[in-house]
Structure 1
Amino acid sequence: MTALAGVAGQPIDHSLSPLIHGAWIAAAGLDADYRAFGPADEAGFAALAAEGRAGGLRGLNVTAPFKAAALAFADDVSETARLCGSANLLVFEGGRASADSTDGEGLMAALAEQAPDLVVAGRPVLILGAGGAARAAAAVLKASGADVRILNRTPARAEQLAADLGIEVAGPGALAAAALVVNALSVPPEIDMEALPDDAVLMDMTYRPLETPFLAAGRGRGLAVVDGLAMLIGQARPSFRALFGTEPPPVDVRALALAALGETA
Protein backbone atom coordinates (compact mmCIF):
# COMPACT_ATOMS: atom_id res chain seq x y z
CA MET A 1 0.00 0.00 0.00
CA THR A 2 1.36 3.39 -1.00
CA ALA A 3 2.40 5.48 1.99
CA LEU A 4 0.67 8.86 1.65
CA ALA A 5 1.93 12.03 3.32
CA GLY A 6 1.98 15.69 2.47
CA VAL A 7 2.08 19.32 3.48
CA ALA A 8 -0.97 21.29 4.62
CA GLY A 9 -1.26 25.05 4.44
CA GLN A 10 -3.17 27.94 2.89
CA PRO A 11 -2.07 29.13 0.41
CA ILE A 12 -0.07 26.04 -0.55
CA ASP A 13 0.58 26.23 -4.31
CA HIS A 14 3.95 27.89 -3.70
CA SER A 15 5.26 25.12 -1.43
CA LEU A 16 8.52 23.43 -2.42
CA SER A 17 7.97 20.56 0.02
CA PRO A 18 6.36 18.21 -2.56
CA LEU A 19 9.33 18.79 -4.87
CA ILE A 20 11.87 18.09 -2.12
CA HIS A 21 10.16 15.04 -0.62
CA GLY A 22 9.19 13.72 -4.05
CA ALA A 23 12.83 13.76 -5.15
CA TRP A 24 13.87 11.83 -2.04
CA ILE A 25 11.01 9.35 -2.46
CA ALA A 26 12.00 8.67 -6.08
CA ALA A 27 15.70 8.30 -5.26
CA ALA A 28 14.94 5.95 -2.35
CA GLY A 29 12.60 3.84 -4.48
CA LEU A 30 9.79 4.10 -1.94
CA ASP A 31 6.19 3.16 -2.60
CA ALA A 32 5.09 6.55 -1.32
CA ASP A 33 3.47 9.82 -2.35
CA TYR A 34 3.83 13.30 -0.88
CA ARG A 35 1.18 15.86 -1.84
CA ALA A 36 0.15 19.43 -1.15
CA PHE A 37 -3.14 19.84 0.73
CA GLY A 38 -4.86 23.22 0.90
CA PRO A 39 -7.68 23.14 3.47
CA ALA A 40 -9.79 26.30 3.24
CA ASP A 41 -9.92 26.81 7.01
CA GLU A 42 -9.24 25.19 10.39
CA ALA A 43 -12.32 22.98 10.04
CA GLY A 44 -10.93 21.67 6.76
CA PHE A 45 -7.55 21.10 8.37
CA ALA A 46 -9.16 19.22 11.26
CA ALA A 47 -10.97 16.99 8.76
CA LEU A 48 -7.71 16.27 6.94
CA ALA A 49 -5.93 15.47 10.19
CA ALA A 50 -8.81 13.23 11.26
CA GLU A 51 -8.35 11.33 7.99
CA GLY A 52 -4.74 10.80 9.01
CA ARG A 53 -5.68 9.60 12.47
CA ALA A 54 -8.07 7.12 10.83
CA GLY A 55 -5.19 5.64 8.82
CA GLY A 56 -5.53 7.48 5.53
CA LEU A 57 -2.24 9.39 5.88
CA ARG A 58 1.20 8.56 7.23
CA GLY A 59 1.67 12.15 8.32
CA LEU A 60 1.61 15.84 7.47
CA ASN A 61 4.02 18.69 7.42
CA VAL A 62 2.08 21.77 8.47
CA THR A 63 2.64 25.36 7.48
CA ALA A 64 0.76 28.65 7.97
CA PRO A 65 -1.91 29.15 9.12
CA PHE A 66 -2.43 25.70 10.68
CA LYS A 67 0.62 25.18 12.93
CA ALA A 68 -1.22 26.04 16.14
CA ALA A 69 -4.17 23.89 15.09
CA ALA A 70 -1.80 20.98 14.46
CA LEU A 71 -0.48 21.25 18.01
CA ALA A 72 -4.00 21.37 19.44
CA PHE A 73 -5.09 18.35 17.38
CA ALA A 74 -2.29 16.07 18.55
CA ASP A 75 -2.59 13.33 21.15
CA ASP A 76 1.14 13.43 21.90
CA VAL A 77 3.29 16.56 21.80
CA SER A 78 7.10 16.72 21.81
CA GLU A 79 8.82 19.06 24.23
CA THR A 80 10.16 21.02 21.25
CA ALA A 81 6.67 21.58 19.84
CA ARG A 82 5.38 22.54 23.27
CA LEU A 83 8.07 25.19 23.66
CA CYS A 84 7.40 26.49 20.15
CA GLY A 85 3.67 26.68 20.79
CA SER A 86 3.07 25.17 17.35
CA ALA A 87 3.85 22.10 15.26
CA ASN A 88 5.03 21.71 11.68
CA LEU A 89 4.81 17.91 11.73
CA LEU A 90 2.03 15.46 12.55
CA VAL A 91 2.74 11.72 12.39
CA PHE A 92 -0.18 9.29 12.55
CA GLU A 93 0.15 5.79 13.98
CA GLY A 94 -2.27 3.45 15.67
CA GLY A 95 -5.09 5.97 15.68
CA ARG A 96 -2.97 8.62 17.41
CA ALA A 97 -1.43 11.86 16.19
CA SER A 98 2.03 12.93 17.39
CA ALA A 99 3.12 16.55 16.98
CA ASP A 100 6.65 17.81 16.63
CA SER A 101 8.48 20.88 15.35
CA THR A 102 11.49 20.46 13.06
CA ASP A 103 11.84 24.20 12.34
CA GLY A 104 14.53 24.65 14.96
CA GLU A 105 16.51 21.71 13.65
CA GLY A 106 16.20 23.23 10.18
CA LEU A 107 17.51 26.56 11.42
CA MET A 108 20.57 25.00 13.03
CA ALA A 109 21.24 22.89 9.91
CA ALA A 110 21.11 26.04 7.77
CA LEU A 111 23.56 27.84 10.05
CA ALA A 112 25.94 24.86 10.01
CA GLU A 113 25.81 24.72 6.22
CA GLN A 114 26.10 28.41 5.30
CA ALA A 115 27.83 29.93 8.35
CA PRO A 116 30.00 27.04 9.58
CA ASP A 117 32.33 29.29 11.58
CA LEU A 118 29.52 30.79 13.65
CA VAL A 119 29.48 29.84 17.33
CA VAL A 120 26.28 30.82 19.15
CA ALA A 121 26.97 29.30 22.58
CA GLY A 122 27.47 32.08 25.10
CA ARG A 123 26.99 34.81 22.49
CA PRO A 124 24.20 37.38 21.97
CA VAL A 125 21.65 36.45 19.31
CA LEU A 126 18.91 38.81 18.17
CA ILE A 127 15.60 37.52 16.79
CA LEU A 128 13.33 39.91 14.91
CA GLY A 129 9.66 39.10 15.45
CA ALA A 130 7.56 37.40 18.11
CA GLY A 131 5.34 34.96 16.20
CA GLY A 132 5.58 31.21 15.83
CA ALA A 133 8.68 31.31 13.64
CA ALA A 134 10.45 33.56 16.15
CA ARG A 135 9.43 31.26 18.99
CA ALA A 136 10.88 28.20 17.21
CA ALA A 137 14.13 30.06 16.52
CA ALA A 138 14.38 31.33 20.09
CA ALA A 139 13.76 27.89 21.59
CA VAL A 140 16.46 26.10 19.59
CA LEU A 141 19.04 28.88 19.93
CA LYS A 142 18.51 29.06 23.69
CA ALA A 143 18.94 25.27 23.85
CA SER A 144 22.20 25.73 21.93
CA GLY A 145 23.49 28.05 24.65
CA ALA A 146 22.94 31.40 22.95
CA ASP A 147 22.03 34.56 24.85
CA VAL A 148 18.76 35.16 22.99
CA ARG A 149 17.10 38.58 22.74
CA ILE A 150 13.75 39.38 21.07
CA LEU A 151 13.00 42.57 19.15
CA ASN A 152 9.43 43.19 17.99
CA ARG A 153 7.37 46.21 17.01
CA THR A 154 4.72 45.20 19.56
CA PRO A 155 6.59 45.13 22.90
CA ALA A 156 3.87 43.15 24.67
CA ARG A 157 4.28 40.19 22.29
CA ALA A 158 8.05 40.26 22.73
CA GLU A 159 7.65 40.36 26.50
CA GLN A 160 5.25 37.38 26.44
CA LEU A 161 7.59 35.29 24.29
CA ALA A 162 10.55 36.21 26.48
CA ALA A 163 8.64 35.26 29.63
CA ASP A 164 7.51 31.94 28.14
CA LEU A 165 11.02 30.87 27.10
CA GLY A 166 13.08 32.49 29.83
CA ILE A 167 14.93 34.87 27.51
CA GLU A 168 15.12 38.66 27.28
CA VAL A 169 13.60 41.49 25.29
CA ALA A 170 16.27 43.33 23.32
CA GLY A 171 17.46 46.58 24.81
CA PRO A 172 19.57 49.44 23.47
CA GLY A 173 22.81 48.20 21.97
CA ALA A 174 21.41 44.78 20.99
CA LEU A 175 22.51 45.22 17.39
CA ALA A 176 26.03 46.26 18.32
CA ALA A 177 26.56 43.05 20.30
CA ALA A 178 24.75 40.55 18.04
CA ALA A 179 26.70 37.57 16.70
CA LEU A 180 23.58 36.48 14.77
CA VAL A 181 20.43 38.28 13.68
CA VAL A 182 17.50 36.10 12.60
CA ASN A 183 14.63 37.68 10.70
CA ALA A 184 11.43 35.82 11.62
CA LEU A 185 9.17 38.54 10.23
CA SER A 186 7.11 38.18 7.05
CA VAL A 187 8.14 41.69 5.96
CA PRO A 188 11.63 43.17 5.46
CA PRO A 189 12.88 44.51 8.80
CA GLU A 190 14.31 47.97 9.17
CA ILE A 191 17.55 47.80 11.12
CA ASP A 192 20.79 49.75 11.04
CA MET A 193 23.26 47.42 9.33
CA GLU A 194 26.13 49.72 10.25
CA ALA A 195 25.46 49.08 13.94
CA LEU A 196 26.26 45.36 13.59
CA PRO A 197 29.68 43.85 14.34
CA ASP A 198 31.81 43.05 11.29
CA ASP A 199 31.60 39.32 12.03
CA ALA A 200 27.82 39.20 12.54
CA VAL A 201 25.76 36.65 10.59
CA LEU A 202 22.32 37.43 9.16
CA MET A 203 19.66 34.80 8.58
CA ASP A 204 16.27 35.20 6.93
CA MET A 205 13.62 32.51 7.42
CA THR A 206 11.94 33.57 4.15
CA TYR A 207 13.11 32.10 0.83
CA ARG A 208 11.00 34.05 -1.68
CA PRO A 209 13.06 35.75 -2.98
CA LEU A 210 16.11 33.70 -2.07
CA GLU A 211 18.13 36.84 -1.34
CA THR A 212 15.68 39.03 0.52
CA PRO A 213 16.26 42.79 0.91
CA PHE A 214 17.43 42.03 4.46
CA LEU A 215 20.09 39.58 3.25
CA ALA A 216 21.07 41.81 0.32
CA ALA A 217 21.67 44.71 2.70
CA GLY A 218 23.77 42.47 4.95
CA ARG A 219 25.81 41.15 2.03
CA GLY A 220 26.38 44.74 0.92
CA ARG A 221 27.71 45.47 4.40
CA GLY A 222 30.11 42.51 3.99
CA LEU A 223 28.33 40.22 6.44
CA ALA A 224 27.83 36.45 6.12
CA VAL A 225 24.23 35.55 5.26
CA VAL A 226 22.08 32.40 5.56
CA ASP A 227 18.98 31.96 3.40
CA GLY A 228 15.59 30.48 4.19
CA LEU A 229 15.86 27.74 1.58
CA ALA A 230 18.66 26.12 3.59
CA MET A 231 16.32 26.11 6.59
CA LEU A 232 13.44 24.66 4.55
CA ILE A 233 15.60 21.76 3.41
CA GLY A 234 17.07 21.39 6.89
CA GLN A 235 13.64 20.97 8.50
CA ALA A 236 12.51 18.64 5.70
CA ARG A 237 15.19 16.03 6.48
CA PRO A 238 13.95 15.06 9.96
CA SER A 239 10.37 15.27 8.65
CA PHE A 240 11.20 12.75 5.91
CA ARG A 241 12.75 10.39 8.47
CA ALA A 242 9.67 10.63 10.69
CA LEU A 243 7.20 10.18 7.82
CA PHE A 244 8.90 7.40 5.89
CA GLY A 245 11.23 5.74 8.39
CA THR A 246 14.39 6.16 6.34
CA GLU A 247 17.14 8.70 5.72
CA PRO A 248 16.78 11.12 2.80
CA PRO A 249 19.02 9.85 -0.02
CA PRO A 250 21.89 12.03 -1.31
CA VAL A 251 19.97 14.09 -3.87
CA ASP A 252 20.81 17.75 -4.57
CA VAL A 253 17.35 19.00 -3.66
CA ARG A 254 18.68 22.55 -3.32
CA ALA A 255 19.49 22.62 -7.02
CA LEU A 256 15.98 21.37 -7.82
CA ALA A 257 14.46 24.00 -5.53
CA LEU A 258 16.57 26.79 -7.02
CA ALA A 259 15.44 25.80 -10.50
CA ALA A 260 11.80 25.85 -9.36
CA LEU A 261 12.34 29.30 -7.87
CA GLY A 262 14.04 30.55 -11.02
CA GLU A 263 17.17 31.28 -9.00
CA THR A 264 20.81 30.48 -9.69
CA ALA A 265 23.04 28.69 -7.22
Structure 2
Amino acid sequence: MTLVAGVAGQPIAHSLSPVIHGAWIAAAGLDAVYERFGPADAAGFVELVDRGRAGSLRGLNVTSPFKEQALALADEASETARACGAANLLVFDNGRVRADSTDGRGLMAALAEQASGLDVSGRTVVVLGAGGAARAAAAALKAAGAEVGVRNRTVERAQALADDLGVAVVDAGALGQAALVVNALSVPPAIDLAALRDDAVLMDMTYKPLLTPFLAEGRARGLTTVDGLAMLIGQAGPSFRALFGIAPPALDVRAAALAALGETA
Protein backbone atom coordinates (compact mmCIF):
# COMPACT_ATOMS: atom_id res chain seq x y z
CA MET A 1 0.00 0.00 0.00
CA THR A 2 1.28 3.45 -0.90
CA LEU A 3 2.46 5.40 2.13
CA VAL A 4 1.04 8.90 2.25
CA ALA A 5 2.81 11.68 4.13
CA GLY A 6 3.04 15.41 3.67
CA VAL A 7 3.39 18.89 5.07
CA ALA A 8 0.56 20.87 6.65
CA GLY A 9 0.40 24.63 6.97
CA GLN A 10 -1.39 27.78 5.85
CA PRO A 11 -0.35 29.09 3.40
CA ILE A 12 1.32 25.98 2.01
CA ALA A 13 1.63 26.37 -1.79
CA HIS A 14 5.18 27.73 -1.45
CA SER A 15 6.51 24.81 0.61
CA LEU A 16 9.60 23.08 -0.79
CA SER A 17 9.21 20.06 1.49
CA PRO A 18 7.43 18.03 -1.24
CA VAL A 19 10.35 18.74 -3.61
CA ILE A 20 12.90 17.53 -1.06
CA HIS A 21 11.01 14.49 0.18
CA GLY A 22 9.78 13.65 -3.31
CA ALA A 23 13.34 13.54 -4.61
CA TRP A 24 14.40 11.21 -1.79
CA ILE A 25 11.32 8.99 -2.31
CA ALA A 26 12.11 8.64 -6.00
CA ALA A 27 15.79 7.93 -5.39
CA ALA A 28 14.95 5.29 -2.79
CA GLY A 29 12.29 3.68 -4.99
CA LEU A 30 9.67 3.86 -2.26
CA ASP A 31 5.96 3.27 -2.83
CA ALA A 32 5.12 6.57 -1.18
CA VAL A 33 3.91 10.09 -1.83
CA TYR A 34 4.52 13.35 0.01
CA GLU A 35 1.83 16.00 -0.44
CA ARG A 36 0.89 19.52 0.61
CA PHE A 37 -2.07 19.91 2.98
CA GLY A 38 -3.57 23.34 3.62
CA PRO A 39 -6.15 23.23 6.41
CA ALA A 40 -8.09 26.49 6.49
CA ASP A 41 -8.04 26.74 10.28
CA ALA A 42 -7.48 24.89 13.55
CA ALA A 43 -10.59 22.77 13.05
CA GLY A 44 -9.34 21.72 9.63
CA PHE A 45 -6.02 20.71 11.13
CA VAL A 46 -7.81 18.55 13.70
CA GLU A 47 -9.63 16.81 10.84
CA LEU A 48 -6.32 16.17 9.10
CA VAL A 49 -4.81 14.66 12.25
CA ASP A 50 -7.93 12.51 12.65
CA ARG A 51 -7.26 11.15 9.15
CA GLY A 52 -3.84 10.16 10.36
CA ARG A 53 -5.24 8.46 13.43
CA ALA A 54 -7.60 6.54 11.14
CA GLY A 55 -4.65 5.18 9.17
CA SER A 56 -4.82 7.11 5.90
CA LEU A 57 -1.63 9.09 6.60
CA ARG A 58 1.80 7.91 7.75
CA GLY A 59 2.76 11.29 9.10
CA LEU A 60 2.98 15.03 8.67
CA ASN A 61 5.54 17.73 8.80
CA VAL A 62 3.87 20.77 10.30
CA THR A 63 4.55 24.42 9.64
CA SER A 64 2.96 27.74 10.61
CA PRO A 65 0.44 28.25 12.11
CA PHE A 66 -0.16 24.72 13.39
CA LYS A 67 3.05 23.76 15.24
CA GLU A 68 1.79 24.45 18.75
CA GLN A 69 -1.54 22.78 17.98
CA ALA A 70 0.32 19.75 16.61
CA LEU A 71 2.00 19.24 19.97
CA ALA A 72 -1.28 19.67 21.83
CA LEU A 73 -2.99 16.99 19.72
CA ALA A 74 -0.26 14.37 20.18
CA ASP A 75 -0.54 11.36 22.47
CA GLU A 76 3.17 11.37 23.14
CA ALA A 77 5.94 13.85 22.44
CA SER A 78 9.71 13.91 22.40
CA GLU A 79 11.55 15.83 25.06
CA THR A 80 12.64 18.27 22.37
CA ALA A 81 9.08 18.98 21.24
CA ARG A 82 7.95 19.47 24.83
CA ALA A 83 10.83 21.87 25.46
CA CYS A 84 9.95 23.83 22.32
CA GLY A 85 6.25 23.90 23.11
CA ALA A 86 5.68 23.05 19.45
CA ALA A 87 6.08 20.19 16.97
CA ASN A 88 6.98 20.16 13.30
CA LEU A 89 6.58 16.40 12.91
CA LEU A 90 3.67 14.07 13.65
CA VAL A 91 3.93 10.32 13.06
CA PHE A 92 0.77 8.20 13.13
CA ASP A 93 0.96 4.64 14.43
CA ASN A 94 -2.10 2.46 15.11
CA GLY A 95 -4.31 5.37 16.05
CA ARG A 96 -1.72 7.14 18.16
CA VAL A 97 0.11 10.36 17.38
CA ARG A 98 3.79 10.92 18.18
CA ALA A 99 5.15 14.46 18.06
CA ASP A 100 8.71 15.60 17.56
CA SER A 101 10.59 18.76 16.63
CA THR A 102 13.38 18.47 14.07
CA ASP A 103 13.71 22.23 13.51
CA GLY A 104 16.53 22.56 16.03
CA ARG A 105 18.51 19.79 14.37
CA GLY A 106 17.94 21.53 11.07
CA LEU A 107 19.25 24.80 12.46
CA MET A 108 22.40 23.23 13.85
CA ALA A 109 22.99 21.33 10.58
CA ALA A 110 22.66 24.57 8.62
CA LEU A 111 25.14 26.34 10.88
CA ALA A 112 27.61 23.45 10.54
CA GLU A 113 27.29 23.60 6.76
CA GLN A 114 27.38 27.33 6.08
CA ALA A 115 29.12 28.77 9.17
CA SER A 116 31.48 25.94 10.04
CA GLY A 117 33.83 28.22 11.94
CA LEU A 118 31.17 29.23 14.47
CA ASP A 119 31.19 27.65 17.93
CA VAL A 120 28.24 28.95 19.94
CA SER A 121 29.28 27.34 23.22
CA GLY A 122 29.57 30.06 25.85
CA ARG A 123 28.77 32.75 23.27
CA THR A 124 25.88 35.22 23.16
CA VAL A 125 23.28 34.45 20.51
CA VAL A 126 20.11 36.41 19.85
CA VAL A 127 16.91 34.88 18.46
CA LEU A 128 14.42 37.29 16.91
CA GLY A 129 10.83 36.11 17.36
CA ALA A 130 8.82 34.12 19.87
CA GLY A 131 6.82 31.59 17.83
CA GLY A 132 7.39 27.88 17.33
CA ALA A 133 10.43 28.38 15.09
CA ALA A 134 12.02 30.74 17.61
CA ARG A 135 11.39 28.23 20.39
CA ALA A 136 13.08 25.47 18.41
CA ALA A 137 16.05 27.72 17.67
CA ALA A 138 16.41 28.86 21.28
CA ALA A 139 16.16 25.30 22.62
CA ALA A 140 18.75 23.92 20.19
CA LEU A 141 21.20 26.76 20.77
CA LYS A 142 20.84 26.52 24.53
CA ALA A 143 21.50 22.77 24.30
CA ALA A 144 24.66 23.60 22.33
CA GLY A 145 25.88 25.72 25.24
CA ALA A 146 25.02 29.20 23.94
CA GLU A 147 23.91 32.09 26.09
CA VAL A 148 20.55 32.65 24.40
CA GLY A 149 18.63 35.92 24.36
CA VAL A 150 15.29 36.49 22.65
CA ARG A 151 13.75 39.64 21.25
CA ASN A 152 10.18 40.06 20.05
CA ARG A 153 7.81 42.94 19.32
CA THR A 154 5.40 41.52 21.89
CA VAL A 155 7.48 41.38 25.05
CA GLU A 156 4.97 39.13 26.83
CA ARG A 157 5.46 36.38 24.23
CA ALA A 158 9.22 36.73 24.46
CA GLN A 159 9.02 36.45 28.25
CA ALA A 160 6.84 33.34 28.01
CA LEU A 161 9.39 31.70 25.72
CA ALA A 162 12.23 32.72 28.00
CA ASP A 163 10.47 31.38 31.10
CA ASP A 164 9.67 28.07 29.41
CA LEU A 165 13.17 27.45 28.06
CA GLY A 166 15.31 29.10 30.72
CA VAL A 167 16.75 31.75 28.44
CA ALA A 168 16.72 35.56 28.66
CA VAL A 169 14.76 38.40 27.14
CA VAL A 170 17.30 40.93 25.88
CA ASP A 171 17.27 44.49 24.59
CA ALA A 172 18.94 45.88 21.48
CA GLY A 173 22.22 46.23 23.34
CA ALA A 174 22.72 42.45 23.29
CA LEU A 175 23.10 42.55 19.51
CA GLY A 176 26.49 44.16 19.85
CA GLN A 177 27.80 41.11 21.72
CA ALA A 178 26.08 38.45 19.62
CA ALA A 179 28.14 35.85 17.81
CA LEU A 180 24.96 34.76 16.02
CA VAL A 181 21.65 36.45 15.26
CA VAL A 182 18.80 34.20 14.09
CA ASN A 183 15.74 35.70 12.43
CA ALA A 184 12.77 33.48 13.28
CA LEU A 185 10.26 36.12 12.17
CA SER A 186 8.31 35.85 8.93
CA VAL A 187 9.26 39.44 8.07
CA PRO A 188 12.59 41.29 7.84
CA PRO A 189 13.68 42.28 11.35
CA ALA A 190 14.02 45.92 12.29
CA ILE A 191 17.51 45.90 13.72
CA ASP A 192 20.63 47.97 13.09
CA LEU A 193 23.19 45.64 11.54
CA ALA A 194 25.84 48.31 11.96
CA ALA A 195 25.75 47.55 15.69
CA LEU A 196 26.82 43.93 15.16
CA ARG A 197 30.27 42.48 15.63
CA ASP A 198 32.41 42.23 12.51
CA ASP A 199 32.55 38.44 12.96
CA ALA A 200 28.83 37.96 13.69
CA VAL A 201 26.91 35.28 11.81
CA LEU A 202 23.40 35.97 10.52
CA MET A 203 20.83 33.24 9.95
CA ASP A 204 17.36 33.62 8.47
CA MET A 205 14.82 30.80 8.80
CA THR A 206 12.94 32.13 5.77
CA TYR A 207 13.98 30.61 2.43
CA LYS A 208 11.79 32.50 -0.02
CA PRO A 209 13.59 34.51 -1.21
CA LEU A 210 16.77 32.59 -0.51
CA LEU A 211 18.73 35.80 -0.02
CA THR A 212 16.40 37.74 2.26
CA PRO A 213 16.87 41.48 2.84
CA PHE A 214 18.29 40.61 6.28
CA LEU A 215 20.93 38.32 4.79
CA ALA A 216 21.63 40.65 1.86
CA GLU A 217 22.37 43.51 4.25
CA GLY A 218 24.60 41.23 6.29
CA ARG A 219 26.55 40.12 3.24
CA ALA A 220 27.00 43.76 2.24
CA ARG A 221 28.68 44.22 5.64
CA GLY A 222 30.90 41.21 4.97
CA LEU A 223 29.19 39.00 7.53
CA THR A 224 28.81 35.23 7.24
CA THR A 225 25.20 34.30 6.42
CA VAL A 226 23.20 31.08 6.73
CA ASP A 227 20.03 30.64 4.68
CA GLY A 228 16.72 29.05 5.54
CA LEU A 229 16.98 26.44 2.81
CA ALA A 230 19.93 24.82 4.55
CA MET A 231 17.82 24.58 7.70
CA LEU A 232 14.82 23.21 5.78
CA ILE A 233 16.96 20.43 4.30
CA GLY A 234 18.60 19.83 7.68
CA GLN A 235 15.28 19.27 9.44
CA ALA A 236 13.91 17.19 6.54
CA GLY A 237 16.50 14.43 6.99
CA PRO A 238 15.37 13.23 10.43
CA SER A 239 11.76 13.76 9.38
CA PHE A 240 12.26 11.45 6.40
CA ARG A 241 13.74 8.77 8.64
CA ALA A 242 10.78 8.99 11.01
CA LEU A 243 8.21 8.93 8.24
CA PHE A 244 9.66 6.26 5.96
CA GLY A 245 11.99 4.24 8.16
CA ILE A 246 15.16 4.75 6.12
CA ALA A 247 17.88 7.37 5.87
CA PRO A 248 17.55 9.84 2.99
CA PRO A 249 19.48 8.71 -0.11
CA ALA A 250 22.71 10.56 -0.89
CA LEU A 251 21.33 13.16 -3.25
CA ASP A 252 21.85 16.88 -3.87
CA VAL A 253 18.34 17.94 -2.93
CA ARG A 254 19.48 21.55 -2.55
CA ALA A 255 19.89 21.75 -6.33
CA ALA A 256 16.33 20.50 -6.84
CA ALA A 257 15.02 22.94 -4.24
CA LEU A 258 16.89 25.87 -5.81
CA ALA A 259 15.43 24.96 -9.21
CA ALA A 260 11.94 24.95 -7.70
CA LEU A 261 12.64 28.35 -6.15
CA GLY A 262 13.96 29.72 -9.43
CA GLU A 263 17.30 30.40 -7.71
CA THR A 264 20.76 29.51 -8.92
CA ALA A 265 22.85 29.72 -5.76
* Alignment TM class, shorter chain as reference: over 0.9
Alignment of 1:77-88 (within 5 A): 77-88=77-88
Residue number in structure 1 paired with 2:63: 63
Alpha-carbon distance between aligned partners in 2 of 1:16 and 1:140, rounded to the nearest angstrom: 23
Where does structure 1 lack aligned partners over 5 or more consecutive residues?
none
Residue number in structure 2 paired with 1:123: 123
Letter of the structure 2 residue corresponding to residue 205 of structure 1: M
Residue number in structure 1 paired with 2:259: 259
Alpha-carbon distance between aligned partners in 2 of 1:213 and 1:133, rounded to the nearest angstrom: 19
Residue number in structure 2 paired with 1:32: 32
Give the length in aligned residue pairs: 265
3-state secondary structure, aligned to 1:87: coil
Alignment of 1:153-164 (within 5 A): 153-164=153-164
Alpha-carbon distance between aligned partners in 2 of 1:203 and 1:65, rounded to the nearest angstrom: 21
Alpha-carbon distance between aligned partners in 2 of 1:133 and 1:83, rounded to the nearest angstrom: 12
Residue number in structure 2 paired with 1:203: 203
Letter of the structure 2 residue corresponding to residue 234 of structure 1: G
Letter of the structure 1 residue corresponding to residue 149 of structure 2: R
Letter of the structure 2 residue corresponding to residue 178 of structure 1: A
3-state secondary structure, aligned to 1:126: strand
Residue number in structure 1 paired with 2:109: 109
3-state secondary structure, aligned to 2:256: helix
Alpha-carbon distance between aligned partners in 2 of 1:48 and 1:134, rounded to the nearest angstrom: 25
Deviations 1:190-222 (A, max 9, x none): 212121111110000001110000000100000
Residue number in structure 2 paired with 1:167: 167
3-state secondary structure, aligned to 1:173: helix
Letter of the structure 2 residue corresponding to residue 71 of structure 1: L
Alpha-carbon distance between aligned partners in 2 of 1:167 and 1:42, rounded to the nearest angstrom: 29
3-state secondary structure, aligned to 2:33: strand
Instruction: Give me the identity figure in percent.
Output: 74
Deviation of 1:172 (Å): 5.2
Deviation of 1:173 (Å): 2.7
Q: Larger deviation: 7-16 or 154-163?
A: 154-163
Alpha-carbon distance between aligned partners in 2 of 1:17 and 1:156, rounded to the nearest angstrom: 32
Letter of the structure 2 residue corresponding to residue 18 of structure 1: P
Alignment of 1:139-218 (within 5 A): 139-171=139-171, 173-218=173-218
> CA 1:2–1:122 in structure 2 vs 1: closer, same or farther (change >3 Å)?
same
Alpha-carbon distance between aligned partners in 1 of 2:48 and 2:137, rounded to the nearest angstrom: 28
Alpha-carbon distance between aligned partners in 2 of 1:151 and 1:69, rounded to the nearest angstrom: 23
Alpha-carbon distance between aligned partners in 1 of 2:193 and 2:172, rounded to the nearest angstrom: 15
Residue number in structure 1 paired with 2:42: 42
3-state secondary structure, aligned to 2:98: strand
Letter of the structure 1 residue corresponding to residue 62 of structure 2: V
> CA 1:115–1:29 in structure 2 vs 1: closer, same or farther (change >3 Å)?
same
Deviations 1:82-123 (A, max 9, x none): 111111100011221000011111100100000001000110
Deviation of 1:43 (Å): 1.5
Alpha-carbon distance between aligned partners in 1 of 2:68 and 2:180, rounded to the nearest angstrom: 27
Deviations 1:154-192 (A, max 9, x none): 222222211111111113531111000000111111212
Alpha-carbon distance between aligned partners in 1 of 2:239 and 2:172, rounded to the nearest angstrom: 38
Alpha-carbon distance between aligned partners in 1 of 2:12 and 2:258, rounded to the nearest angstrom: 18
Answering whether residue 248 of structure 2 is matched by residue 245 of structure 1, we say no
Letter of the structure 1 residue corresponding to residue 202 of structure 2: L
After TM superposition, where is structure 1 displaced by more than 6 Å over at least 4 residues in a row? Answer: none
Alpha-carbon distance between aligned partners in 1 of 2:262 and 2:46, rounded to the nearest angstrom: 34
Alpha-carbon distance between aligned partners in 2 of 1:63 and 1:155, rounded to the nearest angstrom: 23
Alpha-carbon distance between aligned partners in 2 of 1:158 and 1:238, rounded to the nearest angstrom: 28
Alpha-carbon distance between aligned partners in 1 of 2:188 and 2:216, rounded to the nearest angstrom: 11
Alpha-carbon distance between aligned partners in 1 of 2:69 and 2:130, rounded to the nearest angstrom: 18
